[in-house]
Amino acid sequence: MKEWGAVGWFLLAGAARAALPWSEPGAPALMDDAPVMRITAETLGKTLPRNGGRLVRRESFTILAIGDSVTATGPYPEILTQLLERATGNKSITVVRAAYPGKGTDAAVRRWWRDIEPVDPQLALIMFGLNDQAAGVPVAAYQEQMRWLVDRLRSEDDADVVLLEPTPHIGITPLVDAKAPPPPEASVFRTVGFGAALRETGAELGVPVAPTFDALWGNGGVNLQEAARRMWPLFPRSYKEPFTTLVETGGRGDTIHPNARGHLALARAVFTTLAGRPRVPPLHLSGETRMENDGWSGRLTVKNLTEESRSGRLALYPFAGEDLHENHDYLLKAGESIDLEFTWPANRVESCLQVVDYHDGGSRVEAVRLTSGEGWEREHLVVADGLVVLRKKAGGLVKVELPKAAAVGRIPLTGGGELAFVRHARATEGEAVLDGVLNDWGDAEWVPVGEEVQARSVRGVIRDLRATSGECYLRWSFRAGREGVYFAFRGSGDLSNDRFTVLLDPRGPEELGSAGPYYWVDGAMKPGGAIALKAGDSSRTSEGLYAAWRDAGREITEAELFVPYEVMHTMAWPASGDLGLSIVWMHRHPGGQTTRLVWSEDGYAWTPRWFGVVRRGGGELPWRVRIK
């Protein structure tokens, strides 16, 4: 083995390929420290049932690596290729990336046609979660988008799929002269809830899940700071310097993107998964929550899966990335179980419980997907007559009458949760004169964007900094034209520094409200009646976009927009008459803070599962209902 600088040993499978984009000029060849595990055709027939035989027969084999910046900046797919080459003798394995730095699972879904569909892979590796968690993506949306990707890869490409757990974020150590304090210590494992959801989805779909979080976490430490420091050798000074480590800088550097040694650990975790060696934690954890008068409480069931007695301490963290937690000591004989009671610190509940298991000088992290006797069978549905019939998980029906005069609203539900509703909007047919003057919109119907219940953060929490709703309150209307969609809005207050996004889903009615590709247009108000418009990255073009606004007096702004159908990869309004649509308005206050107003969805906007619907033509308009 060779030493790289003074930082320790880097272990890679075979010599680093000079042509790889992640290689540094002059970097030494890096050797493996252990023999490659044998992979048999029988094993690959189970882990790669569609194309494992092709790999063993040494036929051409394409690996598509889909993910965020961890996939974009590091060589785990190439290292895996070398491991597979040594194990099978197949020298015809190639790697293609579809990676989206700073983005989440939704980016791969909406850019399927551009980045994934043309590849035709035999094996797809999918790693997302770091950005999904940070951006407030609900776990259910993350799972839906993963299912969509897996289904498409299997049905359209006949590809095998392996899901990779999102990795730790180790930047929790206070550093001298740091410009900003580090995030809470619990941020080091903020992605484990998404890893647990990924394993749940993998089991549902019959897809292997590689324990890539565990591969970096290793033996952890006696506390979270020590766990982070023990991972310093696996992270670089900069992702552009993959043969460096944080050991050199005392923890100062890139704490998100693993270095070359870290990517070796990721590749080995995938290789071990393909070799049929599943992740087997020492403890089996399951949990449930229940509603009480003053909030939520829960029970965690812990079972020792080892053949020896095991003792330690469990730290239970109810909220991802927050340090608030409870400690529980345990002593379990082989096969023994215990129940631990815990409480939520507020009338707030999450779908996962993060658990740190401190044992024998080290630690492991697990996330427990919580079940509840409370709750409802369906999360969202369409209601035609205003009467919502809900089926409780514990049994029984509850009927809720929607206020027919309200276009949007929220209704608290007995036993916890709430019912959120938004009525379909209507689009008239015809053309409009794009001058910012709304005289030709006399026959239009309008929907509100500015009600108090519409002031939401990306995590779905009410966050309204307006002194009154009149400080920023808009009404929008829609028109189905021959070549595109016309929008009009009339708003109160000073909107001159505001921005907005219109999101569009032209799929058929059976797909509206589910994961899938979508399109969007960003807008920014500019002086002199101009509005800067730009189509999102899933559109082929921004040509033909147009918008104008005017000051209509008395702090009233009027505006018109035009979005060609081509921006949505279509040539006409959907034949069903229904267009999935969402509006997100960002109102900038004088102090620089922002109030975010949304028409239909609750929080995170970049998934069409919560889009509203604009219907062309007459007739009664139904409601889209969501149960939280």
Tens digits of per-residue pLDDT, 525-560? 999 999 999 999 999 899 999 999 999 998 999 999
- Report the alpha-carbon distance of residue 384 to residue 380 in Å, rounded: 13
57 three-class SS: coil
Mean pLDDT of 363-392: 83
User: Residue 373: what pLDDT?
Assistant: 58
Check whether 7 has a pLDDT greater than 70: no
User: Residue 351: what pLDDT?
Assistant: 79
| CB 444, CB 479: distance < 8 Å | yes
| CB 479, CB 430: distance < 8 Å | yes
User: Residue 347: what pLDDT?
Assistant: 63
Mean pLDDT of 1-7: 28
- Percent of the chain scored above 70 by pLDDT? 91
Higher pLDDT, 124 or 34: 124
**pLDDT category of residue 279 using cuts at 50, 70 and 90:** confident
Mean pLDDT of 203-230: 97
- Report the alpha-carbon distance of residue 387 to residue 365 in Å, rounded: 44
**pLDDT category of residue 290 using cuts at 50, 70 and 90:** confident
| CB 555, CB 594: distance < 8 Å | no
Mean pLDDT of 390-410: 87
User: Residue 374: what pLDDT?
Assistant: 59
Nearest CA to 390 out of 560, 626, 230 is that of 626
Check whether 375 has a pLDDT greater than 90: no
Q: For tokens 């020792």, name the residue.
A: 304
- Percent of the chain scored above 90 by pLDDT? 76
Q: For tokens 């219109």, name the residue.
A: 502
pLDDT digits (tens, 9 = 90+) for 419-468: 999 999 999 999 999 999 999 998 899 999 999 999 999 888 889 999 99
Nearest CA to 38 out of 86, 100, 107 is that of 86
Long-range contacts made by residues 226-232, C-beta under 8 angstroms, separation at least 24? 227/188, 227/363, 228/168, 228/170, 228/171, 228/172, 228/173, 228/188, 228/255, 229/173, 231/168, 231/170, 232/170
Mean pLDDT of 338-366: 88
User: Residue 19: what pLDDT?
Assistant: 31
**pLDDT category of residue 38 using cuts at 50, 70 and 90:** confident
Across-strand partners of 370?
Answer: 287
- Report the alpha-carbon distance of residue 210 to residue 230 in Å, rounded: 21
pLDDT digits (tens, 9 = 90+) for 498-532: 999 999 999 999 999 999 999 999 999 999 999 99
Mean pLDDT of 64-82: 97
**pLDDT category of residue 237 using cuts at 50, 70 and 90:** very high
- Report the alpha-carbon distance of residue 67 to residue 160 in Å, rounded: 16
pLDDT digits (tens, 9 = 90+) for 160-180: 999 999 999 999 998 888 788
- Burial code (b: 16+ CB inside 10 Å, e: under 16) for 529-545 equals eebebebbebbeebeeb
**pLDDT category of residue 415 using cuts at 50, 70 and 90:** low
Q: Counting beta carbons within 10 angstroms of the beta carbon of residue 299, is it exposed (0 to 12), middle (13 to 18) or buried (19 or more)? A: middle
Which element (helix H / strand E) includes 564? strand 556-564
- Extract the tokens encoding 590: 């004088």
DSSP string, 178-235: -SSPPPPGGGGGTTHHHHHHHHHHHHHHT--EE-HHHHHHTT--SSHHHHHHHTGGGS
Nearest CA to 453 out of 464, 442, 443 is that of 464
Torsion angle, CA of 186/187/191/197, rounded to 10 degrees?
40
Check whether 208 has a pLDDT greater than 50: yes
**pLDDT category of residue 345 using cuts at 50, 70 and 90:** confident
User: Residue 76: what pLDDT?
Assistant: 98
Least confident stretch, 164-168, 347-351, 373-377: 373-377
- Extract the tokens encoding 525: 């108000």
User: Residue 121: what pLDDT?
Assistant: 98
User: Residue 585: what pLDDT?
Assistant: 98
Nearest CA to 340 out of 286, 380, 294, 376 is that of 286
In the chain, the domains with their CATH numbers are: 41-274 (3.40.50.1110), 283-372 (2.60.40.10), 424-618 (2.60.40.1190)
pLDDT digits (tens, 9 = 90+) for 127-172: 999 999 999 999 999 999 999 999 999 999 999 999 999 999 999 9
**pLDDT category of residue 15 using cuts at 50, 70 and 90:** very low
pLDDT digits (tens, 9 = 90+) for 90-112: 999 999 999 999 999 999 999 99
User: Residue 460: what pLDDT?
Assistant: 84
User: Residue 349: what pLDDT?
Assistant: 66
Check whether 25 has a pLDDT greater than 80: no
Across-strand partners of 95?
Answer: 63
* Mean pLDDT over each residue of the chain, to the nearest integer: 90
| 333 phi and psi angles, rounded to 5 deg | -75, 165
User: Residue 178: what pLDDT?
Assistant: 79
